[in-house]
Structure 1
Amino acid sequence: MASRAIAPQQQQQPREGVRQKKLPVEGRNNRRVLQDIGNLVSRKAAEGKQEAPIDKNKKSIAEDAVTLLQIGVGKVSVAAKPAETAKIACENPKPEGFQGSSRKSKQVTSSRKDCKAFSSVLSARSKAASAIASEPKDLVVNIDAEDTDNELAVIEYIDELYEFYKLSEEENQVKDYMGSQSDINAKMRSILVDWLIEVHHKFELNPETLYLTINIVDRFLSMKVVPRRELQLVGISSMLLASKYEEIWSPEVNDFVCISDNAYAKEQILAMEKAILGKLEWFLTVPTPYVFLVRYAKASLPFDEQMENMVFFLAELGLMNYTTITNFSPSILAASAVYAARCTLEISPFWTETLKHNTGYSEDQLMDCAELLVSLHSTAAESRLRAVYKKFSSEDRNAVALLLPASSLLSESSP
């Protein structure tokens, strides 16, 4: 038999109209093949043919790539020899994909000249940052850093506490009430406060008690008309209430009867105490100037005993003055006392960023009250009401009352 040549088997073509079923390939999933994501250089571009137009964002990215090439981060062919590689790196050639017509190469060269290298930008920013860091700044000092282990300082809530004090002091601010009083005036009030300061000093009470006593007196007088003969009784009963509120061991009622030279009986003092509580609706928790004085004096650095006594000397002079109490809030009075004390002791600068941060007041906001306090200091030695002056003229108070008042504030306040 004659043998037949075996023809190569032809692949069967699918019939028309019949969909050929694709069989899965082992070891592969049925995901779509990733297409060009812009990181490949087409052969047409390499041959210098015109590419599709690109938008501005892509153009800026291309210019950044040119800048990278300019500082020596160009692509080098892997197949190049070491000697050729060094030669190419020195000549700084165009990478593959940037070769084109001479017209295009000129445009790329001009764009390279316009762009700044990354190294120059970074060095400029580094110089600017170092210049900013070297500038001297009046930084805010953390005055609570030493009280981290003191649980009584409650430094976790101290900022919120004083925000609340400032909000509540507006509600309890004493306004001008002498117009409603027919039998007493501002001078009589000053005489009463001067006497209460002596009683407070004789009983050796806490400073919180004195400031709360004056607050109770002013709030009660702003609500009820008091005859002249009962004004001292109001002061005694107010100090009795403040002592019960602030002191561990408060003076007894008989002590106040004796200190007033039996001008009032025990029953009268208790009856006035009840009347005061009724008018104030038993509301005694108020921010007095004392709570702000403690905080603001602490923020006055450097802080020492002389500074503390000067601050309280000026603040107590303000307590005696009716205009100071009615025109300025407790926080402004306290901040102004600190500012006037720094001016008196010639502590430079008179007002710091730390004080501004902790008080919330600028130097201009305190000027009026500070000038008033310094003027009271200048006339304290010749005044008939000398309780505060005598108290702060002693050695245990550093004799701050004997110091000359701040001349800078006196010259501005003098007519």
Structure 2
Amino acid sequence: MDRNAVFGGVREGGERGVRVTRAMARAMGGVCASSKPSFKKEGKNKKKSLDKGRAVLADVTNVCRKQQNKKCSTSKSQIRGGCKKKSTNGVSNASIQVSSTQGHVRTNIAKDLSTTSTLQSHDSIVAERLEDRELVLPCVSISMRGHVMEDIDMISEELKHSDGLGIVDIDSVELKDPLIWSSYSPDIYSNICVREFERRPLADYMDELQQDITPSMRGVLIDWLVEVSEEYKLVPDTLYLTVNLIDRFLSRSLIQKQRLQLLGITCMLIASKYEEICAPPVEEFCFITDNTYTKAEVLKMESEVLNLLHFQLSVPTTKTFLRRFILAAQSSYKVSYVELDFLVNYLAELTLVEYSFLQFLPSLIAASAVLLARWTLNQSEHPWNSTMEHYTNYKMSELKTTVLALADLQLDTKGCPLNAIREKYKQQKFMSVANLPLKPVQSLFQSQV
């Protein structure tokens, strides 16, 4: 599978793609070895764009150090394969073992009978003790099974009622790829809806904790990391997880501005190891900062981040919810609307740079991006229906504040100079969705009052 042609679950040709995991790569016959991305630099154009980002980062990085022009050689990943040793024993050895085993059958049966009688007497004693303590374990298991069956019946009843309300079952086997575990989707997303409350950064850590950095410095860092992710062709999940790790670390630990870029590349290194099949080596992240930081400093920072966050890397980000919400939105169309996927992902990525969007839950941002994208592309029909409300668990009135803030962000009412995401989605491979004119959304919410 060509990862470079896939973004947000949609290929350039419009075909919906499946996210490749390490297990799937092994099953497909060594995808990691054949499709390993090249971490060598591709000419001077990309180098100049990254240098521009580094110049902007001069205010928030360690400018006292002398920048070096030496390039770190990319370490080549080696795939070590081991061969299993085959047994050299012949058929004769097997026959000898069978005959010797048959000789002990009678003695083993006698031992088993004696052991069984002993166990039966022991079980009777244990049963009497359990009766004295009034512990009836079979009843507990039966009650637990009863609860499970009640939950299953409740889910099936909800699906029956949803058909009458015009809700499309996006988890049906007919509509889904067989490689996707559609039967577990409701349980998975119910779980991550709880997790997004547990593992989210503080919305006001800049005022409450940090003293040497500002929201604008954070924006400059993330805007530069967007360029880095494009340079190394990282999957979108890596970028979202990187921003989450940065904000969670800054919510708990005080940091100086000289180490802010070090924190950024370290979090991207961690996210790459977690999300990518073939992650860039540490030396590449040192080189991307013009060797401002050494390999030892990055590894030390990596240990500090992981220990502070207790190695909790399984975090539901906005991208996690986007996959399901976009699927629900696409159910309204007979043919997959590729432009909708790109526009939704563009709107969602715009929020990564803005510190003010930390006050909103990832699921709320994802739902708002889908609503705004559908309204931008088509005003002839209402962008929020019973299917969207069912799978997002948000009513349209609950999305008003976030949608209006997202619309202002798309219009760039504050004149933000950070344009890495806008330039990214002006490319033809994303159907230039960043150039689409925004439709006024205030009238949409007024009609709902």
- State TM-score, norm by structure 2: 0.59
Amino acid paired to 2:286: V
Partners of 2:353 and 2:443 in 1: CA distance: 20
Larger radius of gyration: 1
C-alpha deviation, 1:356, in angstroms: 0.5
Q: 1:339 and 1:243, CA in 2 relative to 1: closer, same or farther beyond 3 A?
A: same
Deviation readout 1:81-137 (Å, 9 max, x if unpaired): xxxxxxxxxxxxxxxxxxxxxxxxxxxxxxxxxxxxxxxxxxxxxxxxxxxxxxxx8
Amino acid at match of 1:342: R
The match for 1:335 among 367, 380, 396 is: 367
CA distance in 2, matches of 1:197, 1:386: 10
In 1, Cα distance between the equivalents of 2:367 and 2:176? 27
The 5 Å alignment of 1:149-188 reads 150-175=177-202, 176-179=204-207, 180-188=209-217
In the alignment, structure 1 residue 370 sits paired with structure 2 residue 412 = no
For residue 395 of structure 1, the aligned residue among 421, 424, 428 is: 428
**Match for 2:426: what amino acid?**
S
Identify unmatched segments of 5+ residues in structure 2.
1-163
- Pair 1:367–1:241, CA change in 2 (3 A): same
Amino acid at match of 1:154: W
Overall identity of the aligned pairs, in %: 37
In 2, Cα distance between the equivalents of 1:181 and 1:222? Answer: 8
Letter in 2 for 1:296: F
Amino acid at match of 1:144: D
Q: CA deviation at 1:381?
A: 11
CA drift of 1:172 comes to: 1.2
Cα distance change on mapping 1:289 and 1:343 into 2, 3 Å: same
C-alpha separation between the residues in 2 aligned to 1:332 and 1:310? 17
Q: Which stretch of the first structure deviates more once superposed, 342-351 or 144-153?
A: 144-153
CA deviations on 1:227-253 (whole Å, 9 max, x unpaired) are 001001000000000000010000011
Map 1:295-334 onto structure 2 (within 5 A).
295-300=324-329, 301-302=332-333, 303-325=336-358, 327-334=359-366
Q: Is this contact kept in 1: 2:400–2:445, CA < 8 A? A: no
Correspondence 1:217 to 2:246: yes
**How many angstroms apart in 2 are the aligned matches of 1:148 and 1:138?**
19
Within 5 Å, give how 1:123-272 maps onto structure 2. 139-146=166-173, 150-175=177-202, 176-179=204-207, 180-272=209-301
Q: 1:411 to 1:352 in 2, by over 3 A?
A: closer
Aligned-residue offset at 1:407: 1.3
Between the aligned partners of 2:438 and 2:386, the Cα distance in structure 1 is 24
Q: SS at 2:182's partner residue?
A: coil
- Which deviates more from structure 2 when the two are superposed, residues 295-304 or residues 373-382? 373-382
Shift of 1:185: 1.0
Structure 2 counterparts to residues 42-191 of structure 1, below 5 A: 139-146=166-173, 150-175=177-202, 176-179=204-207, 180-191=209-220
Q: Secondary structure at the match of 2:313?
A: coil
Where structure 1 has 5 or more consecutive residues not aligned to the other structure, the ranges are 1-136
Q: Equivalent residue for 2:384? A: 351
Q: Aligned equivalents of 2:444 and 2:389: distance in 1?
A: 24
Structure 2 CA distance, aligned partners of 1:221 and 1:206?
24
- One-letter code aligned to 2:412: T
Q: Could you tell me which of 261, 278, 285 is aligned with 2:314?
A: 285
Note the C-alpha offset of 1:162: 0.4
| Amino acid of the structure 2 residue aligned with 1:349 | H
Say if 1:411 and 1:378 are closer, same or farther in 2 by CA, change over 3 A.
Answer: farther
In 2, Cα distance between the equivalents of 1:164 and 1:268?
A: 36
Residue in 2 aligned with 1:56?
none
Counterpart of 2:229, as a letter, is H
Indicate the residue corresponding to 1:405 in structure 2. Answer: 438
Cα drift, residue 173 of structure 1: 2.1
> Structure 2: how far apart are the matches of 1:286 and 1:329?
12
Quickly say closer, same or farther: Cα 1:183–1:234, change in 2 above 3 A.
Answer: same
Letter in 1 for 2:368: S
Q: List, as ranges, runs of 4+ consecutive aligned residues in structure 1 with deviation greater than 6 Å.
A: 410-413
Instruction: Using the TM superposition, give the Cα deviation of residue 276 of structure 1 relative to its aligned residue in structure 2, in angstroms.
Output: 0.2
**SS of match in other structure, 1:228:** coil
TM-score between both structures, scaled by the size of structure 1: 0.64
Q: How many residues align?
A: 277
Task: Identify the structure with bigger relative contact order (alpha carbons < 8 Å, sequence gap 6+).
Answer: 2
Aligned residue type for 2:256: P
1:330-383 deviation digits (Å, cap 9, x = unpaired): 110111110111121125211011110110001011111111111111018953
SS of residue in 2 equivalent to 1:145: coil
**RMSD of aligned C-alpha atoms?**
2.1
Is the deviation greater in 385-394 or in 169-178? 169-178
